[in-house]
Structure 1
């Protein structure tokens, strides 16, 4: 499971949509992205924690975590796209540590982080099982793996509804918000097709983690997950 050979195409699209990335994301999540990040991170990132924001983009998960802890955390932004990392400078008052790379080869020591955050990014892993294993490796004992992302409902009816939204409604909203660049958000449907159903994702995470809290919203089309090492 994962994007496999589709990964390169997705990365190229992400590189192109950087100018409208945040604006369009807020619109296509129906304004729920901030709420979902808060629900995912609350009580899972604690003051004094060392955090890896994996697939960080502009660092929205980190910004949420900093607000919830009054800035009393240490953050490393980690993303496969250098241009994404370069665009984070204006979003933070202090300079954060940054690293460039993929989920499948995280360049940090075993048990280095208290929490790993993945906000709308794990879905872009090349190999999902390897990505989860690497995240587990760099977490300390008792560490938390927090995922906020699209969900793929287990129920056929709800899954069809989410698919319809991503294929037919999302492109219209993305175009309104981001113009022609917004149309490129249509690649989201390609990542969604390769994304496991919610129950399967839960089982996959539990292959490595001891406990999981799996919260859903929007008919299961949005998930907030916390897995504990």
Structure 2
């Protein structure tokens, strides 16, 4: 599972939508993106932790963690340098360019890894999970906040209809013509495993998984413990 050959198209879209990225994401998540980040992070990151923000984009996940915990040693990693260059420099964070499948970090280097609306864009989800597990210390935590793919067929159909038909309209209103490019979200959703399957994939590598849901399973906050 993962984007495989669809990944270059998604990467190009992400590069193009940088000017409207945060604004549109806030609208299409119905204003819940910040709430979900805080819910996923709270109680799972501690002051002093060495944290990797994987698929960091502008650093919204690590920024939320810093707001909650204060003192953190943060490294941001993203395949797009233009995203990293837009990082808020008020709080120093180390920047690295890379992809989930080949993390440029030593084994066992981080107390926690954060993936905010990013793991869904992995080229190979199985390889990405293995790499995220590798760079964590024993006892480390992987925190995932993302779209969910409900196990219930009715709720799954509802999320699918929203992403395919409603989201483009909202994105157009929020981001103009660039907002229309957010339609690729539907393609990533199609390639994303159902919630139960994602939990099973994580349990193949991690000892314990906490799987929380919102919006009838259309949003997930996950913590996997090494």
User: Normalising by the residue count of structure 1, what TM-score does the alignment of the two structures yield?
Assistant: 0.98
Distance in 2 of aligned mates of 1:149 and 1:218: 12
Equivalenced residue count is 226
How far is the alpha carbon of 1:95 from its aligned partner?
2.6
Distance in 1 of aligned mates of 2:223 and 2:58: 21
What's the secondary structure of 2:163's corresponding residue?
Answer: helix
What's the secondary structure of 1:226's corresponding residue?
Answer: strand
How far is the alpha carbon of 1:30 from its aligned partner?
0.2
How far is the alpha carbon of 1:190 from its aligned partner?
0.2
Distance in 2 of aligned mates of 1:199 and 1:92: 38
Distance in 2 of aligned mates of 1:87 and 1:41: 22
The aligned residue for residue 172 of structure 2 is 175
Distance in 1 of aligned mates of 2:167 and 2:174: 10
- 1:102 aligned residue (99, 104, 110): 99
Distance in 2 of aligned mates of 1:92 and 1:172: 33
- 2:147 aligned residue (150, 175, 191): 150
Structure 1's consecutive aligned runs of 4 or more residues displaced over 6 angstroms after TM superposition are none
Distance in 2 of aligned mates of 1:175 and 1:218: 22
Structure 2 matches for 1:206-217, cutoff 5 A?
206-217=203-214
Structure 2 alignment gaps of length 5 or more:
none
The aligned residue for residue 39 of structure 2 is 39
Q: Deviations over 1:43-73 (max 9, x none)?
A: 1110000000000000000110001012x00
Q: Does 1:139 align with 2:125?
A: no
What's the secondary structure of 1:35's corresponding residue?
Answer: helix
What's the secondary structure of 1:95's corresponding residue?
Answer: coil
Distance in 2 of aligned mates of 1:95 and 1:140: 23
Distance in 1 of aligned mates of 2:89 and 2:55: 17
How far is the alpha carbon of 1:92 from its aligned partner?
3.4
> Please, what is the CA RMSD of the aligned residues?
0.5
What's the secondary structure of 1:164's corresponding residue?
Answer: helix
Distance in 1 of aligned mates of 2:104 and 2:172: 37
Q: Does 1:197 align with 2:194?
A: yes
